[in-house]
Structure 1
């Protein structure tokens, strides 16, 4: 049996780690007594007396000053709103290259939950953690409340007089105005911008992406004559080779790619082969952790590897071999595997170097992948920014060659290397306008701040792929005095048309004629708006041109000596725009399991050589960073996440982490996300606390992840799961067997489909009002997520195998927590759910101590009127996100996964009113519905035809710690890998 470990300390001495963890728990209990006014002793009687006094005092204080409750009755009830009943609206999320077609749940006029739109051919029903957390951005107190000029409130009428006047004066004088935006994928917005540019001659439009794909765009222009990104179809591939492209985490379209990738690795419904995945990277990424074979390499070594792979394939296919930089390892076996899947493979690179991307294109051409697994008729449009254009604009602003700058959706003062100089230059412009929805560093430097509304308050249309369109519609009245940027641009051209009407008019002329289903535009519009998506015909093709390969080979960078620093995009914060979102700040990194900070990931050997431990401090080119020892980090590399170090984001995001965008340089005209020959020094004796949560919930070294390889599985379907049958044979119990006469709810999780992305944790948090507690409390072992995604390593610490496992309440039929509760706060339902009666719980924590799965959470959170504890749930605006179907817990009770019992009851009632039986799959838990990998199945175990019933009978199915005979209602399907 493999040895699994969560940290290097556990690998070296598991017993010592468990003793240390026990001491930490005891320490936190001691702290509890002191904070509650106790004397720090171990007397439970004293503790309960103190707790009782505290609660009594709180009750007296509350009764003396009762809070004012406001209610606004419907004098005339809207026709489409029934109080207490949810409405659902199709919409679209798009920001900084992230796209997702969504469905928004609205209760009494409040959006409270985001789900994936299952009608979307791109994202399907999946979402990401950022999409799930975007609902909280709507209720962010850091949003700009209305138009301002030099930090003073003005009216929109004032702005509509002053800004166009300044623009006209600049235009008439032959000056230069620039509209700087993120990549725009809205067909209607492009029309508005073009109209605006025509109205003000001398105005330019520049698109810019902080996390750039400029190198790929330029390479594709040379190779195919198209400045776009092709459509990668991982579901059609048999072999995937990725050079540092985190396509399951942050690269281009991760929700879409995750859905495709997991479908190609699923082993149900008779599927007997799996996509084979190779990952070559420096930093242990989410994608790398899921690979069958992973090679740790330095960023500067990538070019040699790509060239060597090209030459190896060219040699066997009759292509031209090109000399250039050498490779560090032999790639002939990799080339053979790709050639064995010719036309059924994909080679990709996350590099922003045009020359590397040209050779990646050449490799895919030699393999015959274009038109098979890589398509041009549905090219991806979410990255259009060219780094050369932004670099030239940056230089021109500093040189005084720009008179007016209008900034929309980007934050160059924060994410450009010369942000401080750029800020000073923007302040000196004749006109500077920011359309920022919320606080950011660039908006602070601008004369005018004219805020746009949140995407949930807005009309929009989007075309993320050629021919694939979607609509966004308002789901709530505007909370603040904001206005669509498109509407502002229209007004400044003398057009009073609302943007919503402009979109309708645009669709009537452009897309309505492309369909024949509806004879009336109103029907077409209403049905498309209801579905949220529309597909139009696309005949886009591309012919390959490899003429520039030889010239590009001479420009490929050679491998460098010395330390290299990798700058990567984090799963949670991305480019840092939503650093003020506490759900994202508290989401643990999928690999490091650290929240609330960025840090320097260092290799195990380097840490041993320098005497470093977790939370040591080093300087990277003079910038101090805490250390995390990351198994799998490539030799002579260090990795640090971008998106942190915001200085003007809001009370949650300000000052969290360090800003590494200042180290993003340029090479071959594109932004370079690595630092070569970095100067790294150890700060002797210094430490920096990190909120590390992986070791909080130990199952005492018992086997939890089970896995095998594909060859063994095909020979024996229960491979890796033999212990399950042995355990079932020897069960002896004092419990009476429980008979469930109605429903018996259960959940199955396919470990082949779970990538560890953390989307489920945020989806559960949004659905079930799970509180944010902050870095200090996470360090105090109090993280509140009802579902955690455990990460386990096995094998060589220099390049380990990684396993991800979601763990929530197992809803045991023989639940150990139920017997020990002195107030019966943990009853078992007649349908197999382990329940929590919050109004009974007195916080003894006996149930927590008796749970072998470590899935119950004690609520330590208290509402305190200071910034330290003021996250999202204790102010009027933040409370709007709360789900009224779920009790909001207060300090002193135990809480845990309820299997979204509110959703179960809702669907049962719906079926009862309709006079029918519940359909299998009709009830979806929050984690299941949003999972981009479709890893989770929920259903009725008593229904012999249900999918959950069939999965529980699958020979891959097992239960956590089944030797304890707790009879969990959650099953796991053994993880199967391709043989390395």
Structure 2
């Protein structure tokens, strides 16, 4: 029986109508899309035709009379080391207090324009995520602080230093307390600079505050191992993974690293016949949960009960007596048996911030022998070291007047601290308030001094992300504004006027040179700066033996934890906006969520069953307790009594435009036992009059319900490697063509995507936008299905909408050898190259869109507006005369044409990268090596899901992928002969 896949609930309704031959089933356009278009335009087709003549005339007048003159200014004196037209790459480090990635920065003519992953890093191994890719745009954000200020007025650095040091001297004399409040610091040099400041001002304190906290894990490890730390997890060594609301492929701890490890154990290429088994428990459907082999829905309050039952079952299997606990809402006996059979080769993780939950997880991993195998306790992850209770204590001390001075470094508690109003009120009792932000944010409004920090691409820095794993950051451009490194400010206020570059070098010479094996520090420094990373081989000191007694009290808590039959609100962070730090980044705001496909807003996700009971529909406004109003999304796979809301939205001083993107859910977070909780129990829902329109891409660019994704199970695959792909041979045997088979004498470029590896993380989408100058169109245009992304990641459900399975498929231009688009273009703007690439001549395109209509894959995009000129990114000024001052234009890649209004654009296989590598090979008098050309999407992918190469080379990796029995092409029955292939999705379960 053919599997039924659907993109949305509206698709499911349509398919049911089609099956019953109802008369209203003739229009394939989804109900959702028709609703959105009607709301966004309010115009009929007749109205459109009336206006059409005026629109064309207006466009002609604007084109002839209002186009600004743009002049190119050549180098009169060429800067040293800058070769026009040639890119330079600098190894650096991305860390924003939450996410870490070792990177390479592509610089053209002195401008950083693209982020790549650093393949030399043993942690991230060349992978990136969406936020890392988009971070380059933040460098050119006009909302950055441009100079120091005092009481809102611009002052010089000399004036700021004089005033601040005078106060600090007075505070020192009266033994006043100065607190440095920062996000987690992983830079050893920064820690040393902070310590210098504390030494110069006795009685002062450094407190680390994490928006996304791991306090529960730190406390649990302190109880069981005698030390508060986060261990190093290795998913690649785990044959069985059980996750509890830990989105380790999306936002939990170190997602780039974990994705790389996870995908390594899920690939079925090069003769591999084994893959890890992944079971996931959660309330709202996450990126990680949607990739699991089996997914179980539980409310957040039920997690402790499920964990306790799992531990007790494992103890029974281990011959141990266990105390009784209430029965679990999910039968875990089978899962326990599977885990027990994988002792030392399994991994259980939880994203909970409840120390009791983490204690039970520790006991499970200890019983299974995972410590020392899939979990390293002698190597620590240095991220998220803040303790929630320290921040709460600080606010109490501020209220009582015990804090004389507060220095805010890379934190924004006026927005993301749950009791933000209380913090702001307590801040009034502090005599000296200094903020050292990069972007404009809410907390800076309430301080005396704003001493802006450099953007990370302008700054020197270092990092120790895991024990012994170091990386360096170096400036790739001179500071655009009058900013100064925060570390340099702290050192200056401590009486040490050294520049931070010199300070880092001294630190590395004193602390790291000895273990490097290098005799000369200059050689050591230059080599590590070139590579960007350094492995010292150092491990942590031994921890105490596992304290099993600490676990019993946590199990006792499980006895009294009985989830009431009430609604619960779960908080999460998505892969785009995250904690809200990059809320002003349009690339991230327009990035569709991997599960809901919504962009530009957050929302309340509810289950279809709950929506039916409460008579809720998509985009209906509701209030949750006193929070809101916020629109509803009816989300398949959502737990019945759990509502999910993303954090990081509702910024007042950021977002495009200001203050209108989403609702701030941070004030709803409650603290329990000194730790912020990820959910709120016993909430109520109140319907509010009205609707709020959401921009969703899930029903755009539909391929008319034809079979697109193919999948099978591991058992079936081992029995027949072509399992799930049998239809391919049937299609081949019946295929006839009027066209002669194309032959490519030189290269024939192709791409293969392993659906088993792809997690849908969206890194490729942002990387493509950055590399190819893909414009942002804004919420209104997305609603009209006019988003411009060259890659879309189709998301399909299968099965019961209350608990469906989910599969994804990245789709870009298929570069067909028999391309239907090429035959219909009246001006030959789209042609086929002699290397198999479907090309676009932008200056020839007249915008008929015949090619778009004739493309069965719906991968061509039409520029309705001049998105990089007068109609540029949302939030920009519309006056053409002022557009030349928009810094974000500096991120545009000069190797790629900036497309004008009225032309079609699409994936080009990053042809500029192909040409660049061909030229390098020609200059070196050699042939191109397999894997030398890497498009932006493939380079960014943390799962290594995308392979690119020459199909004419039978030894190339791409040729081997195409020869794999799992390989298939989209809509093969049309005989378009795509140059993009897909490897069938294989799940490690029985369907």
The separation in 2 between residues aligned to 1:476 and 1:717, in whole angstroms, is 51
SS in 2 for 1:676: strand
Which residue number in structure 2 is paired with residue 680 of structure 1?
A: 685
The separation in 2 between residues aligned to 1:560 and 1:511, in whole angstroms, is 55
Which residue number in structure 2 is paired with residue 19 of structure 1?
A: 27
Shift of 1:5: 0.2
The separation in 2 between residues aligned to 1:391 and 1:899, in whole angstroms, is 51
Q: In the alignment, is the contact (CA less than 8 A) between 1:31 and 1:40 conserved in 2?
A: no
Match among 768, 772, 776 for residue 764 of structure 1? 768
The equivalences for 1:393-542 within 5 A come to 393-516=394-517, 518-540=518-540, 541-542=542-543
The separation in 2 between residues aligned to 1:97 and 1:32, in whole angstroms, is 37
Match among 813, 827, 830 for residue 826 of structure 1? 830
Pairing 1:749–2:756 present: no
Provide closer, same or farther for how the CA distance between residues 866 and 530 of structure 1 changes in structure 2, counting only shifts above 3 A.
closer
Provide closer, same or farther for how the CA distance between residues 850 and 22 of structure 1 changes in structure 2, counting only shifts above 3 A.
farther
Match among 866, 876, 883 for residue 870 of structure 1? 876
Which residue number in structure 1 is paired with residue 916 of structure 2?
A: 906
The separation in 1 between residues aligned to 2:90 and 2:333, in whole angstroms, is 52
SS in 2 for 1:231: strand
Provide closer, same or farther for how the CA distance between residues 587 and 537 of structure 1 changes in structure 2, counting only shifts above 3 A.
same
The separation in 2 between residues aligned to 1:435 and 1:939, in whole angstroms, is 46
RMSD after superposition: 2.2
Provide closer, same or farther for how the CA distance between residues 32 and 942 of structure 1 changes in structure 2, counting only shifts above 3 A.
farther
Match among 936, 961, 964 for residue 926 of structure 1? 936
Match among 658, 661, 664 for residue 669 of structure 2? 664
Provide closer, same or farther for how the CA distance between residues 828 and 27 of structure 1 changes in structure 2, counting only shifts above 3 A.
farther
Match among 524, 546, 549 for residue 548 of structure 2? 546
SS in 2 for 1:606: helix
SS in 1 for 2:128: coil
Which residue number in structure 2 is paired with residue 594 of structure 1?
A: 598
Provide closer, same or farther for how the CA distance between residues 505 and 72 of structure 1 changes in structure 2, counting only shifts above 3 A.
farther
Provide closer, same or farther for how the CA distance between residues 89 and 973 of structure 1 changes in structure 2, counting only shifts above 3 A.
same
Match among 894, 898, 923 for residue 888 of structure 1? 898
Shift of 1:899: 0.5
**TM-score using structure 2 length:** 0.95
Q: In the alignment, is the contact (CA less than 8 A) between 1:911 and 1:917 conserved in 2?
A: yes
Match among 918, 931, 948 for residue 938 of structure 1? 948
When structure 1 is superposed on structure 2, of 427-436 and 187-196 the one drifting more is: 427-436
Which residue number in structure 1 is paired with residue 645 of structure 2?
A: 640
Q: In the alignment, is the contact (CA less than 8 A) between 1:140 and 1:877 conserved in 2?
A: yes
Question: What's the CA shift string for 1:118-138, capped at 9, x where partnerless?
Answer: 000000110000000000010
The separation in 1 between residues aligned to 2:670 and 2:486, in whole angstroms, is 31
SS in 2 for 1:437: coil
Provide closer, same or farther for how the CA distance between residues 690 and 880 of structure 1 changes in structure 2, counting only shifts above 3 A.
same
SS in 1 for 2:687: strand
SS in 1 for 2:947: strand
Pairing 1:784–2:766 present: no
Shift of 1:539: 3.1
The separation in 2 between residues aligned to 1:725 and 1:866, in whole angstroms, is 48
Shift of 1:71: 2.4
Which residue number in structure 1 is paired with residue 305 of structure 2?
A: 304
Question: What's the CA shift string for 1:252-300, capped at 9, x where partnerless?
Answer: 0000100110110100111111100000000100000000010000000
Provide closer, same or farther for how the CA distance between residues 249 and 865 of structure 1 changes in structure 2, counting only shifts above 3 A.
closer
The separation in 1 between residues aligned to 2:512 and 2:321, in whole angstroms, is 45
Which residue number in structure 1 is paired with residue 21 of structure 2?
A: none
SS in 2 for 1:573: coil
SS in 2 for 1:695: coil
The separation in 1 between residues aligned to 2:706 and 2:985, in whole angstroms, is 17
Pairing 1:85–2:106 present: no
Shift of 1:19: 1.9
The separation in 2 between residues aligned to 1:791 and 1:428, in whole angstroms, is 51
Pairing 1:703–2:704 present: no
SS in 2 for 1:835: strand
The separation in 2 between residues aligned to 1:651 and 1:253, in whole angstroms, is 28
Shift of 1:865: 6.9
The separation in 1 between residues aligned to 2:45 and 2:40, in whole angstroms, is 8
Provide closer, same or farther for how the CA distance between residues 338 and 874 of structure 1 changes in structure 2, counting only shifts above 3 A.
farther
SS in 1 for 2:263: helix
Shift of 1:170: 1.9
Q: In the alignment, is the contact (CA less than 8 A) between 2:40 and 2:783 conserved in 1?
A: no
Provide closer, same or farther for how the CA distance between residues 24 and 851 of structure 1 changes in structure 2, counting only shifts above 3 A.
farther
Question: What's the CA shift string for 1:918-963, capped at 9, x where partnerless?
Answer: 0000000000001000000000001111110111010000000110
Q: In the alignment, is the contact (CA less than 8 A) between 2:101 and 2:117 conserved in 1?
A: yes
Match among 846, 859, 874 for residue 842 of structure 1? 846
The separation in 1 between residues aligned to 2:465 and 2:920, in whole angstroms, is 36
Question: What's the CA shift string for 1:528-577, capped at 9, x where partnerless?
Answer: 00000000122323332222122222334432320000010111111101
Shift of 1:240: 0.4
Shift of 1:485: 0.8
Provide closer, same or farther for how the CA distance between residues 617 and 41 of structure 1 changes in structure 2, counting only shifts above 3 A.
closer
Provide closer, same or farther for how the CA distance between residues 869 and 165 of structure 1 changes in structure 2, counting only shifts above 3 A.
closer
Q: In the alignment, is the contact (CA less than 8 A) between 2:827 and 2:845 conserved in 1?
A: yes
SS in 2 for 1:880: helix
Match among 963, 967, 974 for residue 957 of structure 1? 967
Provide closer, same or farther for how the CA distance between residues 725 and 42 of structure 1 changes in structure 2, counting only shifts above 3 A.
farther
The separation in 1 between residues aligned to 2:980 and 2:391, in whole angstroms, is 51
Q: In the alignment, is the contact (CA less than 8 A) between 2:177 and 2:204 conserved in 1?
A: yes
* Structure 1 residue runs without a partner (length 5+): none
**TM-score using structure 1 length:** 0.96
Question: What's the CA shift string for 1:788-819, capped at 9, x where partnerless?
Answer: 00100001111110001100000001111111
Q: In the alignment, is the contact (CA less than 8 A) between 2:179 and 2:204 conserved in 1?
A: yes
The separation in 2 between residues aligned to 1:580 and 1:17, in whole angstroms, is 41
Match among 924, 948, 955 for residue 958 of structure 2? 948
Equivalent pairs, count: 971
When structure 1 is superposed on structure 2, of 668-677 and 396-405 the one drifting more is: 396-405
Which residue number in structure 2 is paired with residue 217 of structure 1?
A: 218
Question: What's the CA shift string for 1:363-415, capped at 9, x where partnerless?
Answer: 00000001111012221011100011011112222333322111111111111
The separation in 2 between residues aligned to 1:28 and 1:634, in whole angstroms, is 26
Question: What's the CA shift string for 1:698-720, capped at 9, x where partnerless?
Answer: 11110001000001000100000
Q: In the alignment, is the contact (CA less than 8 A) between 1:907 and 1:923 conserved in 2?
A: yes
Q: In the alignment, is the contact (CA less than 8 A) between 2:14 and 2:30 conserved in 1?
A: no
Pairing 1:67–2:104 present: no
